Structure 1
Amino acid sequence: MLLLRPHHINCLFFYKGLGYSKEFIKGMNEIPILLKKDPNTTLKLVTGCDNVCFYCPNKQLNNICITKEKVDNLDYNTLKIYNLKLNKEYKFRGIIDNIYKNFNKNNFHAICSTCNWYKQGICSDNAIIDQLKNWNL
């Protein structure tokens, strides 16, 4: 089972092979590959560090993000907009069907506008169409 912070659903969708370090990129690359290979993978939405955070330099020794308040807000917005629940298990196929196929600029801005990747233009609403193709949606 894959453990994911709620906002990382969005990060996976926009992921382009960039990251904080070579170790982070290598670990992050494995997750979309797994999900594309088996869209029925079970994931559980959690608070705190998850599979994406494993190699993140923002993760402290106590498994708390140094930007905890900011990422907690990203998680809250994701849960609210997508009507998801913490500690609940989902099949990734359900995430694809209920979120990615309906992803739009309004959701993107409401959830991601406080994120540094968004502010740097790495994730942009112009990429939505490309990502839908990349995920074969």
Structure 2
Amino acid sequence: MIYLRGHHLFCLLGYRGMGYSPEYVENMTRIHQNFRKNPETLIKIVNGPDHLCDKFPATEEYHCQNLNIYDRDASILRKMNLEIGQVLKWKEIETRILKHITSSDIGVVCETCTWRSLGVCEEGIEEIHQGKGLRAVY
């Protein structure tokens, strides 16, 4: 089971092999590709740092406990009708994205995210809506 916080559900959609450090990228790629290949993988929605935050580099400012990150998590969970502690499969996350999320939501709920300017999260949401699922990352 993979523990994820709210905003990382969107980060995984836009993931293109970039990150804060080689260790962080390796961890995120492993989790991302697991969901891509095994959409039955269980996820537990958590409040705060998760399995992606585990590999955040000690050399960077640790933003995983910042209040604005918790606010972003809560906003995304509300929009997707998810709750802390809920357990579901990755394919159910994709179904909820189809049902509740559009690419324009990124500009609102992820307004202050430093990765937003790349446009990859919007692309990821569009690809889910097109039935493509998560893209391969090598």
TM-score range with shorter-chain normalisation? 0.7 to 0.9
Report what 2:104 is aligned to. Answer: 106
TM-score (norm 1): 0.82
Aligned CA distance change for structure 1 residues 127 and 47 (closer, same or farther; 3 Å):
closer
What is aligned with 2:12?
12
1:123 to 91, 111, 120: 120
Counting only pairs closer than 5 Å after superposition, residues 1-137 of structure 1 correspond to structure 2 as 1-57=1-57, 65-66=64-65, 68-100=66-98, 103-118=101-116, 120-121=117-118, 123=120, 125-126=122-123, 128-130=125-127, 132=130, 133=132, 135=134
CA contact (8 A) 2:103 2:126 kept: no
Q: Offset at 1:135?
A: 2.3
Whole-Å Cα distance in 1 between the matches of residues 89 and 43 of structure 2? 6
When residues 113 and 18 of structure 1 are mapped into structure 2, their CA distance, relative to the original with a 3 A threshold, is same
Structure 2 unaligned residues grouped into runs of 5+: none
* Partner Cα distance (1:65, 1:83) in 2: 22
Shift of 1:101: 6.6
When the two structures are aligned, how many residues end up with a matched partner?
A: 131
Task: Give the distance between the partners of 1:96 and 1:3, measured in 2 at CA.
Answer: 16
* Percentage identity across paired residues of the two chains: 30
**Residue pair 2:79, 2:100 contacting (<8 A) in 1 also:** no
Partners of 2:14 and 2:123 within 8 A in 1: no
Superposition TM-score, scaled by structure 2 size: 0.81
Please state how far the C-alpha of 1:31 moved relative to its aligned partner: 0.7
The answer to whether the Cα contact below 8 Å between 2:20 and 2:56 also exists between their aligned partners in 1 is: yes
Q: Cα RMSD (Å) of the superposition?
A: 2.4
CA distance in 2: counterparts of 1:110 and 1:81, whole angstroms: 11
